[in-house]
Structure 1
Amino acid sequence: MKLRKVTAAAAAALVLSLTATACGGDDSSNESDSGSSGGSSIKIGIKYDQPGLGLKEPNGDFSGFDVDVATYVAKELGYEPDQIEFVETKSADRENALARGDVKFIAATYSITPERQEKVDFAGPYLLAHQDLLVKADSDITEATDLNDKKLCSVTGSTSAQNVKDDFAPDAQLKENGTYSECIAALQSGAVDALTTDDSILAGFAAQEQYQGQFKLAGLKLSNENYGIGVKKGDTATVDKINAALEKMESDGAWDKAVKDNFGPANYKNEPAPKIGDIVS
């Protein structure tokens, strides 16, 4: 009987000890996740299928301007490249991914809009892009109005081509494909005359080795797209840290280098690095 009583008491003490340890562990974990001194790892949302911006290479590596920006920001938050886990975040799931806590922040051609600002907070902007046209290098299309009676490609669900038809070329023939890669193939074969979306995305494709010299950007500014870094709504501390990192990236020349590395072969005439908080309408 005495042995059973001692065992029960010991078990109770052990339970209390484990409970206290677990509580202490939770506090430590939360502090690590704060980003004040880094942590074991950080999850960052990017695109996997946009060359020059966010691309998962066949060997598993990641490349692109958004990847370079995200890596720089993460380092300023206390994380080395081998502590970063890049998570694919498709456009339709970006707000949900942040709300669920799937990622700490998102750098994925994420245009800052009033509608999105109701759901997430944004750092930046870190790039000002514009809707543009990609055409063959020898094309005589120089204005959006030139697309009347021409075939214009965009991806399914995008409003870019419809905007061109509504505002500039009512007689344009709209063609939809599932991916930008399919539109590029159609442009290459002559099945369409132009592809439209953000100039940064177009430049990323045109800069790829297999396409160099085949295409050109028309250089139009049909819209303003202020790319920001999305953060969970209410996480102002992380927004402030990311903004400080973006300012440092511009001041030390890393921003310019990332632009040239990822868009240079396409002769992308990018806007200067935007001022933090300066949203161009």
Structure 2
Amino acid sequence: SRGAEPPDRRGPAEAEAEAEATRPPTPGEGGRTRSPRRRRWLAVLTTVVALAAGGGALAFSRFGGGALTPRVTGPSPTAAPSPTPSTTPSTTPSTTPSTAFGSVLEKAARTHRITIGVKGDLPGVGLVSGKGFSGFDVDVAGYIARRLGVPADGITFRRIGMGERVSSLADGVVDMVVATYAYDDNKQDDVTFAGPYYTAHTDVLTVKNAPIRKLEDLAGRRMCAPQGSRSVKLIQDAVTVRAVPAENYAQCMDKLVAGEVEAVPGDDIIVAGFADRVTGLRMAVPGLRLTDQRYAVGLPRGDVRTCEAVRRAITQMYRDGTIDDLLDKHFGEVDFKPDRDLPPPLACR
């Protein structure tokens, strides 16, 4: 099917990750190369010193070929990793923080594990339930991680809020963030942005065949106004609407289904995600496209190597058709034409 990759085909990011893990040692002074045994113990000593400096504890387990694999000691995660990334809820990091490595890419190559911060309250985008994590962002994150060389059972998802994105990356709680992280609204954050992986647009959700096709059609109509929504003010500044307050988007959806409001504003992909769960009533996103919101992957500040690898993974996701499959999978029940073109890349810095 479209988007499937041959199991033995490596992407550029995977090849780079493998090269990172298998790069030969550099010669010592006088052109002499350290013996394998000495290199092994130097690697152990270096890692222990680095972990001790960061306050971490480390244990080693020996596998075939004498390889030394780090694992963090301490309490086990509340849920064991599952074979599929979308069913791996977590409240603690799954492995050594990326701050113990030169980059997230290096961590992925050496540990084959990664922790990704995602939303947990957005149906169709990033939602956590008893079955684990699911949604468009979750699947995008899983695709990127696999292109970095991390197998599905090495991916751990962690729910994070808007106010936790920067600190979670800086503290090594997560290695990357894929959580409707709009570069345009957050470009001053102390992180490195990779992508974007999707360009969202401010729009509204309506019942299908509602007489709302353009911004002016909202004039005088009842529009839900969820608390804290920037989209409400954006629309109110352009046209006079009858705002109906609500605590959140879930209440807005109830009001829309009940006919108490005629439109729900927000990023197109977010309102479409809520609508995709509605049964018995067809919903639509008319395509007002009032603003651009470039959703990007958040990385630790200055991690340019991983940023470039993530950009390559995103490009491949569009080229091999995976992006189309994911958009259809999560928003296919809504009359909605999402942006399917590869967004121009942001500079990695």
Q: Please, what TM-score do these two structures have when normalized by structure 2?
A: 0.67
2:149 paired residue number? 78
Aligned partner letter, 1:187 = L
Q: Contact 1:205–1:211 at 8 Å: present in 2 too? A: no
1:116-135 paired onto structure 2 within 5 Å: 116-135=187-206
2:181 paired residue number? 110
Instruction: Tell me, yes or no, if structure 1 residue 141 matches structure 2 residue 212.
Output: yes
Q: Contact 1:48–1:88 at 8 Å: present in 2 too? A: yes
Measured in 2, the distance between the counterparts of 1:242 and 1:138 equals 39
1:200: how far off? 0.7
Q: Contact 2:199–2:343 at 8 Å: present in 1 too? A: no
Higher-Rg member (1/2): 1
Measured in 2, the distance between the counterparts of 1:250 and 1:35 equals 25
Partner SS for 1:225: strand
Aligned partner letter, 1:177 = A
Q: Contact 2:202–2:288 at 8 Å: present in 1 too? A: yes
Instruction: Tell me, yes or no, if structure 1 residue 42 matches structure 2 residue 114.
Output: yes
1:232: how far off? 1.6
Partner SS for 1:125: strand
1:79: how far off? 1.5
1:146-157 paired onto structure 2 within 5 Å: 146-157=217-228
Q: Contact 2:107–2:113 at 8 Å: present in 1 too? A: no
1:36: how far off? 4.9
Measured in 2, the distance between the counterparts of 1:69 and 1:191 equals 35
Partner SS for 1:184: helix
Q: Contact 1:133–1:196 at 8 Å: present in 2 too? A: yes
Deviations 1:28-86 (A, max 9, x none): 66349633515253110111111121111332x22211111100111122212222221
Instruction: Tell me, yes or no, if structure 1 residue 235 matches structure 2 residue 307.
Output: no
Measured in 2, the distance between the counterparts of 1:38 and 1:179 equals 42
Aligned partner letter, 2:183 = I
Matched length: 258
1:205 paired residue number? 274
Partner SS for 2:205: strand
1:190 paired residue number? 259
Measured in 2, the distance between the counterparts of 1:212 and 1:57 equals 23
Measured in 2, the distance between the counterparts of 1:215 and 1:252 equals 29
Distance 1:238 1:191, change over 3 A: same
Measured in 1, the distance between the counterparts of 2:195 and 2:126 equals 18
Instruction: Tell me, yes or no, if structure 1 residue 158 matches structure 2 residue 229.
Output: yes
Measured in 2, the distance between the counterparts of 1:277 and 1:143 equals 29
Partner SS for 1:218: coil
Measured in 2, the distance between the counterparts of 1:242 and 1:173 equals 43
1:194: how far off? 0.8
1:191: how far off? 1.9
Instruction: Tell me, yes or no, if structure 1 residue 262 matches structure 2 residue 330.
Output: yes
Aligned partner letter, 2:302 = G
Q: Contact 1:39–1:78 at 8 Å: present in 2 too? A: no
1:176 paired residue number? 245
Measured in 2, the distance between the counterparts of 1:24 and 1:93 equals 28
Aligned partner letter, 1:66 = D
1:15 paired residue number? none
Partner SS for 1:73: helix
Instruction: Please point out which of 316, 320, 323 is paired with 1:248.
Output: 316
Measured in 1, the distance between the counterparts of 2:162 and 2:101 equals 30
1:87: how far off? 1.1
Measured in 1, the distance between the counterparts of 2:335 and 2:282 equals 12
Instruction: Please point out which of 114, 128, 149 is paired with 1:56.
Output: 128
Measured in 1, the distance between the counterparts of 2:124 and 2:280 equals 13
Q: Contact 2:121–2:127 at 8 Å: present in 1 too? A: yes
Q: Contact 1:35–1:77 at 8 Å: present in 2 too? A: no
2:10 paired residue number? none
Give the number of the structure with larger relative contact order, counting CA–CA contacts within 8 Å between residues 6 or more apart: 1
Q: Structure 1 vs Structure 2: percent identity of aligned residues? A: 32
- Structure 2, unaligned stretches of length 5 or more? 1-42, 51-69, 71-95
RMSD of the TM alignment (CA)?
2.6
Measured in 1, the distance between the counterparts of 2:44 and 2:121 equals 44
